[in-house]
Structure 1
């Protein structure tokens, strides 16, 4: 917002709108958890009591229920009953510690919609020049690069974990089979290991964490390369006009991000669909 004397005020106002939106999102999340606990805890308590009675009727009808079983059911019922009372007091009591007690979630969602509308209207009233928006775009790219690399590391670690589990399970199947003859004592172990190998192989083929990690890392490296070239003023950003360099930079980075999204969509499609897209 260069050359705009009210630019600082406008920036602070937009930041305040974003803070209000973030606060409302967190309040909605907290309120949903509160409402869920308020209604779900009594239901779980009733289910526990019914299960306790069912165990007594269908299993130990003509005998005494074991002390351990009674103790477990009693402890669970006591915990649920205590939680129900505490949540009821927090919801309907005076001086509730819950910030939005007795507030419907739909009311908070309406406040969120209004806050987002105010943010959009304020942003439209004080839209900065294109050059300022391009310069601001350049400043947020480091966070985008960090996000891509973080996701790349996540998928790379997931791929390595899957591979190690696959290696260990495959080797264990051979070892257990060779150790037991006949394999009757280890039949459950073999079934579990075989199921693990099948699940990991299917998951690796469906989610493709290695390909996702490679694509994310490649996009992050390409964006970083263009960012460095822009900062150093080298090709393809060696033009004397800074606005032209920023425009070319924004166009190139958006193209790279669009390619990344397209690759993610192709990985989400079935194998036959991928072949048709390619």
Structure 2
């Protein structure tokens, strides 16, 4: 066997290129997190200044809000292009990792048959669990952010309306606040981030439960041979994947049906 084939036939967990790609992906994700944290912190600081300006009426807080808003705009202009460049690089690394793991699976399958291909499939399950949990966390964060906008905007609406009687700036802020609350509520309802997050998390939990049961030979895996355990594990994973995809399609269809009925006073159940 050549050196290339020997390297390709190793499990994904011990392949040098796979390990290096995973480390690069980890560093890219960390960098993207830092880039998101900077404008996120400025948004929080801006919200604090705005609330203090509304509650106390002190002009200094209004000036601080303008200053922080300018800093937020500048950070968006400076970090935004770099953020999307790094995000594209992360997607490229992820795609390269998947191609490498697919190459390992194909090479192993050609050399050792279907059993090796099933082993390669099982070796990829932990990565699938992590990917779906990451997706669930992102969707949950998006949902929580939108709900925070709705809650904060709803609470501050009355204060903005009260101050708008004496200030033209507050009247503009009240209008913008109303638009943001409506937009956040509409986006959250239409895209169903919470439901999609729960679906992703449930699928990841199902994969982890099946994988742990197969490794420990408990439940339906008791007393079965290694080949039988692997075959049943793959069947269970594919069944769970089909159910997950079905729920995703149902969520898409629900959004498509519900949205046009809003002008008529809401969708019928």
Q: TM-score, normalised by structure 2?
A: 0.55
Shift of the alpha carbon at 1:237? 1.0
Tell me if the contact between 1:169 and 1:193 (Cα under 8 Å) persists in the aligned partners.
yes
Mapping 1:140-155, distance limit 5 Å: 140-155=124-139
Counterpart CA distance in 2 for 1:7 and 1:250 is 30
1:266 aligns with one of 250, 253, 258: 250
1:203 aligns with one of 170, 187, 206: 187
Unaligned 5+ runs, structure 1: 1-5, 20-114
Counterpart CA distance in 2 for 1:124 and 1:11 is 10
Mapping 1:48-63, distance limit 5 Å: none
Mapping 1:233-272, distance limit 5 Å: 233-271=217-255
Question: Counting helix residues as a fraction of each chain, which structure ranks higher?
Answer: 2
Q: Helix, strand or coil for the counterpart of 2:220?
A: coil
Q: State which structure, 1 or 2, has the greater radius of gyration over its C-alpha atoms.
A: 1
Q: Name which of structure 1's ranges 175-184 and 204-213 shifts more when overlaid on structure 2.
A: 175-184
2:112 aligns with one of 112, 128, 143: 128
* Gap change, CA 1:158 and 1:239, over 3 Å in 2: same
Deviations 1:220-263 (A, max 9, x none): 11110000000101121113321111111001001111221222
For 2:40, the equivalent position in structure 1 comes to none
Deviations 1:189-239 (A, max 9, x none): 111011101110110011111111111111111110000000101121113
* Gap change, CA 1:202 and 1:259, over 3 Å in 2: same
Unaligned 5+ runs, structure 2: 11-16, 18-98, 259-269
Please report the RMSD computed on the Cα atoms of aligned residues, expressed in angstroms: 3.3
For 2:214, the equivalent position in structure 1 comes to 230
Counterpart CA distance in 2 for 1:270 and 1:245 is 37
Poorly superposed stretches of 4+, deviation over 4 Å = 122-125, 182-185
Counterpart CA distance in 1 for 2:168 and 2:109 is 76
* Gap change, CA 1:181 and 1:168, over 3 Å in 2: same
Shift of the alpha carbon at 1:157? 0.8
For 1:212, the equivalent position in structure 2 comes to 196
Counterpart CA distance in 1 for 2:120 and 2:108 is 16
Counterpart CA distance in 1 for 2:194 and 2:151 is 16
Mapping 1:107-186, distance limit 5 Å: 123=107, 126=110, 128-181=112-165, 184-186=168-170
Tell me if the contact between 1:230 and 1:249 (Cα under 8 Å) persists in the aligned partners.
yes
Counterpart CA distance in 2 for 1:130 and 1:13 is 16
Counterpart CA distance in 2 for 1:245 and 1:203 is 44
Q: Name which of structure 1's ranges 131-140 and 152-161 shifts more when overlaid on structure 2.
A: 131-140
Q: Helix, strand or coil for the counterpart of 1:240?
A: coil
Deviations 1:8-66 (A, max 9, x none): 64354689xxx8xxxxxxxxxxxxxxxxxxxxxxxxxxxxxxxxxxxxxxxxxxxxxxx
Shift of the alpha carbon at 1:180? 3.5
